[in-house]
Structure formats: structure tokens, C-alpha cells
Amino acid sequence: MKTRICAILVCGFLILTSCATSDDNNQILLDEKASFFSDFSIDDGMVFFFCHLEVINQTTESQQVHIQGDFREDVKGGLIQSPYLIAYRKDDPDNTVFVLKPGKNVFDIFFLDEKGFADEKQNRLLPPLEFIPIP
């Protein structure tokens, strides 16, 4: 009986420790309280979405990532044509690579896509974001 309880405790400990360290994606977190959708504009057939992000890299090393936004609702509403967009740095509009230093990182970004048939954004919320590691 004691052996069985010890085996269960050891297995539980191994499962918990492997879950806590196995996924590097969980080490990059968006500070949702400090991040926000700022505005959007339409210019020459293109739609620009402006956002402010505060991202926390919980690792001890810098990480390079692309930031992808989920804009499926705006495709359904007719504002844009592509459901998933890659972020650009507002201070370097040709660059889609974000270097996340350990700790807090602050970025002003934008997404862009071809305009659809509508002129209204579906909501003023920050889109769901994914941080895609660059090997």
C-alpha cells in the first residue's frame, strides 16, 4: 500500500514538473491589462489596425517571434479579406520580427490588409494574438 502511494506521488510530481517546463510558448505572455487596440484607419484600399502591446518574456534568453493576429470577425464583417495577419513594428514598418528580451517588452504595432466591402470594425477589442517563434 505504501509503495503504491509513493508511486502515485512520484508520478504526479513528474507530470507536474514536465508540464511546467515543456512548452516555451507559455513562457511568453501578453499583459492583457496593459495592452490594447488603439485605432484603425483606411488608406488607399488598405486597412491599418494599430495596437499597443506589453509582452512578458519569462525565459532568461531573448526570443525572436512573429506576432499573428486573428481577424476572422473583421473578415466576416467585410472590413478586410485575410483572417490572420502578421504584425509590423510601428517604429520600423518593414520589420515583422520582434525581439523579446527577458522581462517586460513594450511595442506599438500595426496590422494591415486589403480593404473589403465594409467600412466598420466589428469591435474595439485587441484581436487574439499568437507569438510564433523564429528558429
Residue 15 lies in a domain: no
Instruction: Examine residue 5 and state whether it is found in any structural domain, yes or no.
Output: no
What are the cell numbers at 35? 495592452
Average pLDDT over residues 59-67: 97
**For residue 89, what are the contacts with CB-CB under 8 A and spacing of at least 6?**
95, 96, 98, 107, 108, 109
Q: Is residue 89 part of a domain?
A: yes
The mean pLDDT value for 22-42 works out to: 86
Q: Which domain holds residue 85?
A: 24-133
Predicted confidence at residue 18, as pLDDT, reads 34
Q: What is the CATH number of the domain that holds 74?
A: 2.60.40
6 domain-assigned: no
User: Over the chain, what is the mean pLDDT?
Assistant: 86
pLDDT at 122: 86
